[in-house]
Amino acid sequence: MRKKIVAGNWKMNLNLQEGVALANELKDALAAEKPNCDVIICTPFIHLATVAGITEGTVIGLGAENCADKEKGAYTGEVSAAQVKSTGAQYVILGHSERRAYYGETAEILKEKVNLALANGLKVIFCIGEVLEEREANKQNEVVGAQLADSLFDLTEEQLSNVILAYEPVWAIGTGKTATAEQAQDMHAFIRGCIAGNFGEKAAEEISILYGGSCKPSNAKEIFSKPDVDGGLIGGAALKCADFKGIIDAWN
């Protein structure tokens, strides 16, 4: 059985004190009511070590939102996969559309990052998704298929077992405009087919594919009810405990 997952992506929000308060609030909420899925929060680098002390021994997994494409050394301002791992974090988001669009992260760079993250014992939440013009031109499958092939298809099946996919149509991120449950299901089924084609049916059956893009308590249940949707990657709604918990509860 593949894992059901709700993961939060805090992006560049919350100072350290606010992040600690949110992590504590979530910890208490999930201690009071055990979630029916895996729960992960991905935070800015500066929060990781402190939040790791809060999430340790709880059901909450912890991840970074990025890591460097270099192993170590003179790369001022960068944070390596090994450094992320040393905070106690277990996950890293890679390939988010904001990183691809604003920081020039190419498929090649992402391939390096994925390899380094996996080599350092992190699980990767790998994001893929088309922009609006690509969707309007009905090119979404082509785009997402290429994103998968260009960064992930050289992995071994064993490496892939430490990858979670997140389909995030760029036009749905932070816009309030969610993909319909049918659009999500169609794309997730296509993605699972791509994984089956390259890694085989077993790998495709086992990999979790999350939906991301304006997911909220009010629409999560419908989206998660689709057979190929294994959960969500949540931005804005992960910044308030009640909203994030509301999405986690969609699995109840």
Sites of contact with ligand PGA (CB under 6 A): 9, 168, 173-174, 212-215, 233-237
Q: CB of 61: closest distance to ligand PGA in angstroms?
A: 16
Nearer of residues 187 and 203 to ligand PGA, judged by Cβ: 187
Nearer of residues 174 and 200 to ligand PGA, judged by Cβ: 174
Nearer of residues 90 and 235 to ligand PGA, judged by Cβ: 235
Kindly state the DSSP code that residue 4 receives in the 8-state scheme: P
Distance CA 236, CA 178 (A): 13
Count CB atoms within 10 A of the CB of residue 109.
18
Q: CB of 60: closest distance to ligand PGA in angstroms?
A: 17
Nearer of residues 69 and 168 to ligand PGA, judged by Cβ: 168
Q: Half-sphere exposure of 202 toward its Cβ, with a 13 Å CA cutoff? A: 4
Active site residue 96: yes
The CB-nearest residue to ligand PGA is: 235
Token representation of residue 99: 């990183």
Q: Name the active-site residue from 105, 130, 134, 168.
A: 168
Q: CB of 121: closest distance to ligand PGA in angstroms?
A: 23
Q: CB of 63: closest distance to ligand PGA in angstroms?
A: 12
Q: Name the active-site residue from 96, 98, 105, 134.
A: 96
Backbone angles phi, psi at 210, to 5 degrees: -95, 150
Count CB atoms within 10 A of the CB of residue 227.
9
* DSSP per-residue codes, 148-215: HHHHHTTS-HHHHTTEEEEE--GGGTTSS-PPPHHHHHHHHHHHHHHHHHHH-HHHHHH--EEEESS-
Distance CA 95, CA 86 (A): 21
Would you name the residues annotated as active-site residues? 96, 168
